[in-house]
Amino acid sequence: MERSFFSRRAFVLVAVLASLAVGIPSLAQDIEPRAYSNAPVGVNFVIAGYAFTDGGVSFDPTLPVEDPELRTSNLLVAYARVLDLGGKTAKFDVVLPYTWLSGSAVYAGKPVERVVSGFGDSRLRLSWNLVGSPALGLKDFASYHQDLIVGASLQVTVPASQYDPTRLVNIGTHRWSFKPEVGISKALGRWTLEAQAAATFFTTNHEFYGGHTRSQDPLYSLQGHVIYSFKGGLWGSLDATYFWGGQTTLEGLLKEDRQENWRVGGILAIPVDRKNSLKISVSNGVSARTGNSYFLAALAWQHRWGGGL
């Protein structure tokens, strides 16, 4: 009887867990639906992903670079675990990316080319659902139905990446960043509506291009997601994100590089079985004040274990 009960719930469980997959971390302009979904406590998951980008990939805009045409191939490995914090669901995740970058841009009226590969900035994050997301084991979670969830997170980006201060374009940024965020998720039958607001704060890079010191104002962001859950655990989302701020200062001089960037995209999560799922995502820049507009396509595989699965 119990085995049959869990079998009927298997695809629902997979759909929820698939939603916890972390996004491709190589780019600052993440689009990440279901970041605050509930899941059974004690479940672990590992993710292997690939992302391709083409266009004005978001890299440091301090210098007067024009017509960036950069292509990147990004591999990532990520690990996450669902936790119980004060009776509410929380999640810890860590992401390690590796990037191949090639392309060109125009600097001071002359074309500049770059081909480089290496590790990108790694990312650590702790998210905590404060309202509407009780910490449940697998058996109790099978009867859980989402209503309203309110959560918060803190993401830390660690500058353990490839960086050459003598080159214009780099994979890493040679500085720390801290991104607090709040999110809300409301379920309406098979539909889920979500919104997230965040601010990213940066430390100073004292080894910027040409031996300069570079600082940056906070970068603010808003995300919106409309998600539909199909039968059998399949779900898809339409997503939009807007970034603004992030103006930089180089050797005490304020630069005219404030960002105002729109991106839209879509994601499809496909359950394979009880412990495995695939996630396909695409996004594109709609408008960008600083030229950081690019196309992204990504595929991620996720495997889950623990927590009674």
Kindly report whether the global pTM for this prediction surpasses the value 0.85.
yes
CA 44, 283, 11, 273 dihedral sign is negative
CA distances from 276 to 103, 127, 133, 235 (A): 35, 22, 23, 15
Averaged pLDDT for residues 57-83: 78
pLDDT higher than threshold 70 for residue 2 = no
Tokens linked to 117:
């590969």
pLDDT higher than threshold 50 for residue 187 = yes
- DSSP secondary structure, 93-147, as one string: EEEEEEEEEEEEEEETTEEEEEEEEEE--EEEEEEEEEES-B---HHHHTT----
Distance, in Å, from the CA atom of 204 to the CA atom of 249, rounded to the nearest integer, reads: 10
Q: Of the candidates 298, 58, 255, 290, which has an alpha carbon nearest to the alpha carbon of residue 169? A: 58
pLDDT on residue 275: 92
pLDDT on residue 113: 86
pLDDT higher than threshold 70 for residue 235 = yes
Strand order in the sheet with 205-208: 205-208, 212-216, 248-250, 253-254
Q: C-alpha angle 145/225/27, rounded to 5°?
A: 120
CB of 65 closer than 8 Å to CB of 107: yes
Chain-centroid distance of CA 57 in Å reads: 15
For 188, counting Cβ atoms within 10 Å of its Cβ (0-12 exposed, 13-18 middle, 19+ buried), the class is exposed
User: pLDDT band for position 18 (50/70/90)?
Assistant: low
pLDDT on residue 106: 77
Tokens linked to 176:
């720390």
CA distances from 6 to 1, 184, 232 (A): 9, 29, 14
Chain-centroid distance of CA 147 in Å reads: 24
Averaged pLDDT for residues 32-36: 88
Strands (E), the chain: 44-55, 65-85, 88-107, 110-119, 122-131, 148-158, 177-188, 191-202, 205-208, 212-216, 219-229, 235-245, 248-250, 253-254, 259-271, 276-288, 294-305
pLDDT higher than threshold 90 for residue 169 = no
Q: Residues near 7 by Cβ (< 8 Å), separated by ≥ 6?
A: none
